[in-house]
Amino acid sequence: MPKDEAIAAVETIPLPLAPERRLWVECARAAIDEAWMIDRLRRMVETPSPYGEERAMAALVARIMAECGFEAAVQDIDAQSANAIGRLGRGDGPSLLLFAPLDSPFSGRPEDELPWVGDAIPSHMRPVAEIGPGTLVGLSADNPKAHITALIAAVHAVARSGARLTGPVTLAFGAGGAPAKAPAGSIRHNIGHCVGCEFLLRHGVRGDFAVIAKPGYRIAWEEVGLAWFRIRVRGTQAYVGRRHVLQYRNPIVEAAPVITALERWFGAYARRHTDGLVAPQGAIGAIQGGWPHKPAFTPAACDLYVDLRISPRTSPMQAERELNAALRAIEAANPGLALDCAMTVAIPGQTTDPRNWIIQSCIRGYEDAEGERHHPFLETSGQTEAVILRAHGIPTARFGLPAQMSPEALPPGDRPRHGMGTVEIARMRRYARSLVYAIIDTCTRGLDEVGLA
């Protein structure tokens, strides 16, 4: 069997629920309240939480968890960022950490986002909840705020089911989950790239197992990491009024063949590294060159910013060597071209053994709720805090809502636009129904039953 098929071909390990656990699961599923979820999701959507500015959202989420009867707290990171933590149950049995980020990658503010998201801020990117028949639209309504709501709703339902927990369920919602860093000139560094998750783990918020809630109604046991690069195209600084008599090598123009060659290379790179559950992608996300306030002067450098996703079976240094080899080939094909490359961010991909308890428990929960065999999504390229949780030694399942951007939502021959602000309420309930199974299946057992003794 080829390597990629071997990694993806994972059979469910059957473990029927005892009658008492079955009763708890059914009682919890019956307690999931769609009206409650709509109201809490509305409150979250109308609380802006751009990455680096999550404090108000953390406070709201902590209040909602306290209203549910959980132990709840806000964990300060700095004056603008915070995490939210909740807990149900005590005991020395198996513990489960349920995680989702708090932040939105977009602010919804015109001064930040226009014209880069379009000529106007679309409804799904505004911090205003628009509630329709069975849907809610607004800034990050689906990812992450519907996921946060569904996690809390699932644990709240378990609390009302009468289930006797042997170990705690911890809800952890982290700041700075966006694949982003502080803008140029900022004096803050605790922004983006999973900083909230790292902060939680370093300050003792942990579990024997974890579930991270991100789009995609299947269970994933591995995902890509990422490496960011700044590619500098060298040229000669000049002046348009003397272009015809001065040395003239405009790096903005020189960047054009680099861009087109890299776009071709990204496809070959993805094909070369597609295996297991992942198909790592690459893209040029930004270009910087020259002075917008004095375009009469051409610059000596033009920078291209690249996000290159990396398989769990590829190190950041391996990715850097592959990219450098591609750049040398581009230089050879374009005499006189001079390129420099610097890695600016590196987060390795990670994997959990698909036979691990939490992966299997989530798969059983999915199959129990849906009445069908689980098949994982293949060729994924999204990066989340799952890589941080796994790097800290916590077996982690990625499992989330059926959503606009997840693979099962793609119509044949079509692709949706990018968006994280539309959610169907029934899908939140559907996800919560699967999740309560994994919570009860895990946190009502002994350590030996889940492989921890």
What is the C-alpha to C-alpha distance for residues 3 and 52, in angstroms, rounded to an integer? 40
For the chain, the residue count is 453
What is the C-alpha to C-alpha distance for residues 25 and 31, in angstroms, rounded to an integer? 10
Nearest to 368 by CA among 450, 430, 428: 430
Q: 347, 363, 381: which is the final residue of a domain?
A: 347
Number of domains in the chain: 2
| Predicted local confidence at residue 3, as pLDDT | 46
**Which structural domain, as residue segments, surrounds residue 401?**
3-223+350-450
What is the C-alpha to C-alpha distance for residues 122 and 382, in angstroms, rounded to an integer? 23
| Predicted local confidence at residue 453, as pLDDT | 87
Nearest to 393 by CA among 135, 209, 172: 209
pLDDT of 413 > 60? The answer is: no
CATH number assigned to the domain comprising residue 207: 3.40.630.10
| Predicted local confidence at residue 415, as pLDDT | 55
Q: Identify whether residues 193 and 44 lie together within a single domain.
A: yes
| Predicted local confidence at residue 416, as pLDDT | 56
CATH number assigned to the domain comprising residue 281: 3.30.70.360
DSSP code string of 394-447: --EEE-----TTSGGGPPTT--PPS---EEEHHHHHHHHHHHHHHHHHHHTS-G
Q: Identify whether residues 183 and 241 lie together within a single domain.
A: no
What is the C-alpha to C-alpha distance for residues 348 and 398, in angstroms, rounded to an integer? 16
Q: Identify whether residues 210 and 99 lie together within a single domain.
A: yes
**Angle, to 10 degrees, between the axis of helix 147-160 and the axis of helix 34-45?**
140
Q: Identify whether residues 282 and 239 lie together within a single domain.
A: yes
Residue 111: how many CA atoms within 13 Å on its side-chain side?
Answer: 0
Q: Identify whether residues 60 and 176 lie together within a single domain.
A: yes
Q: Identify whether residues 23 and 140 lie together within a single domain.
A: yes
Q: 295: cis peptide before it, omega within 30°? A: no
| Predicted local confidence at residue 417, as pLDDT | 64
Q: Identify whether residues 62 and 102 lie together within a single domain.
A: yes
- The token duo for 378 is 């293949």
pLDDT in tens, 48-92: 999 999 999 999 999 999 999 999 999 999 999 999 999 999 999
Query: pTM for this one?
Result: 0.94
Query: What number is the average pLDDT over the span 352-371?
Result: 98
Q: 288, 322, 347: which is the final residue of a domain?
A: 347
Q: Identify whether residues 33 and 123 lie together within a single domain.
A: yes
| Predicted local confidence at residue 190, as pLDDT | 76
Split at pLDDT 50, 70, 90, the class of 365 is: very high
Cβ neighbourhood burial of 261 (10 Å; 0-12, 13-18, 19+): middle
Helices (H) and strands (E) in the chain, counts: 12, 17
Q: 304, 331, 347: which is the final residue of a domain?
A: 347
Q: Identify whether residues 85 and 153 lie together within a single domain.
A: yes
Split at pLDDT 50, 70, 90, the class of 406 is: low
Q: Identify whether residues 293 and 316 lie together within a single domain.
A: yes
Is residue 434 within 8 Å of residue 399, measured between CB atoms? yes
Query: What number is the average pLDDT over the span 150-163?
Result: 98
Split at pLDDT 50, 70, 90, the class of 350 is: very high
pLDDT in tens, 376-398: 999 999 999 999 999 999 999 99
Query: What number is the average pLDDT over the span 330-335?
Result: 97
The mean of the pLDDT values for the chain is: 93
End-to-end, the C-alpha distance of the chain in Å comes to 33
Q: Identify whether residues 264 and 187 lie together within a single domain.
A: no
Q: Identify whether residues 241 and 218 lie together within a single domain.
A: no
